[in-house]
Amino acid sequence: MKALGLFGATIGQRYGGLGLPATTYARIVERVSAVWMSVSGIFNSHLIMCAAIERFGSESMKESLLPRLATGELRGGIALTEPDCGTDLQAIRTRAVRDGDHYVVNGTKQWITNAAEGNVLAVLVKTDLDATPAHRGISLLVAEKSAGYVARKLKKLGYRGVDTAEVAFQDVRVPVQGLVGEQEGRGLQQILSGLALGRINVAARGVGVADASLQSALAYAQQRFTFGQPIASHQAIQLKLADMATRVEAGRLLTDKAAAAYDSGQRCDLEAGMAKLFATEAAVTNAMEAMRIHGANGYSSDNEVERFYRDAPLLAIGEGTNEMQRIIIARQLVERAEG
């Protein structure tokens, strides 16, 4: 992946990246995910962090970090979720206290991609406990691994090709230069803007898994014979294949639209939410249908369909649950109608 430039796929060429538009990036993610969905997670979290740095970091931060991130010398991720805080990021408890020319960070983050095998994280922290509203007291720090950083890998149903960890920060010292932006209190807005790219990535992953499930089911349906004919000739199977193919194409179109909106620079919560919602549900449904078409063979760990079935549910949970996507979509519909 380093040789292919994937760690710098969306980083600007000025900083050593490929500078690819989101539309091209989404197709890369789809193709990778159709073969091994976990792999795309390695550079997704990495590039969300990079997007936040490139959009909001100081020029010295960009010049110091982005070239190393683009080559994969640094492999990063985003540390947002906590044991008692998932979607409600304003409720985070990880704290960063200023001590001279450093911040001292204490707290625990959970379900963090690249936290064990990677070497740098964008960490969402509380820098002001008394701020009202709460988001005004939240900042984003870029922390390279150092003393006090303890990561423990978590076991998962699927999505096993990428490390996911619980990270404990125990008096970790981060130079003040690690603050993203020129002032504290902007962290939530900074990371949420990067999550739009993450949701496009997850939508593209959904399309990849949905398509891989379709292709596997289609091939098997032409090879497996019952009652003297391939099961693809049976109407019950044909109905499943038709629905699976339609989900793939619809998910791909929604993802392309969201990526185009992201590239235009306009706010794309609605488009990214719709793409993420539909494409990931398509992956979950297609994986189940592929298993049913394969019958007992699809339930065997020797068959790739079994992996699709285990990997797909993560897509409906990660980067904001699909229940949350529905709320975002509805709010954006109302906001745009009023505007």
Phi then psi for 141, rounded to 5 degrees? -115, 140
Contact 248, 18 (CB under 8 A): no
Residue type at position 144: E
Report the topology of domain 189-338: Butyryl-CoA Dehydrogenase, subunit A; domain 3 (1.20.140)
Query: In the prediction, which pLDDT does 90 show?
Result: 87
What homologous superfamily does CATH list for 76-183? Butyryl-CoA Dehydrogenase, subunit A, domain 2 (2.40.110.10)
| pLDDT confidence band for 89 (50 / 70 / 90) | confident
Tens-place pLDDT, residues 226-285 = 999 999 999 999 999 999 999 999 999 999 999 999 999 888 999 999 999 999 999 999
Rounded to the nearest integer, the mean pLDDT of the chain is: 95
Return the domain boundaries, the chain: 6-71, 76-183, 189-338
**Which of 54, 319, 323, 335 is the catalytic position?**
319
CATH class for the domain made up of 6-71: mainly alpha
Concerning whether 289 is annotated as a catalytic residue, the answer is no
For the residues 106-112, what does the mean pLDDT come to?
96
Contacts of 104 by beta carbon, 8 Å cutoff, 6+ apart:
96, 97, 171, 172, 173, 174
Let me know if the fold of 6-71 is the same as that of 76-183. Answer: no
CA distances from 206 to 63, 73, 249, 262 (A): 34, 28, 11, 18
Tens-place pLDDT, residues 20-43 = 999 999 999 999 999 999 999 999
For the residues 132-141, what does the mean pLDDT come to?
93
CA dihedral 298, 300, 304, 309 (to 10 degrees): 70
For the residues 86-115, what does the mean pLDDT come to?
93
- Cα 324 to Cα 320: distance, rounded to the nearest angstrom: 6
| pLDDT confidence band for 192 (50 / 70 / 90) | confident
Tens-place pLDDT, residues 307-333 = 999 999 999 998 889 999 999 999 999
**Residue in 125, 116, 117 with CA at minimum distance from that of residue 178:** 125
Residue 81 structure tokens: 């979720």
CA dihedral 327, 186, 53, 120 (to 10 degrees): -90
With 0-12 CB in 10 A as exposed, 13-18 as middle and 19+ as buried, what is 108? middle
| pLDDT confidence band for 86 (50 / 70 / 90) | confident
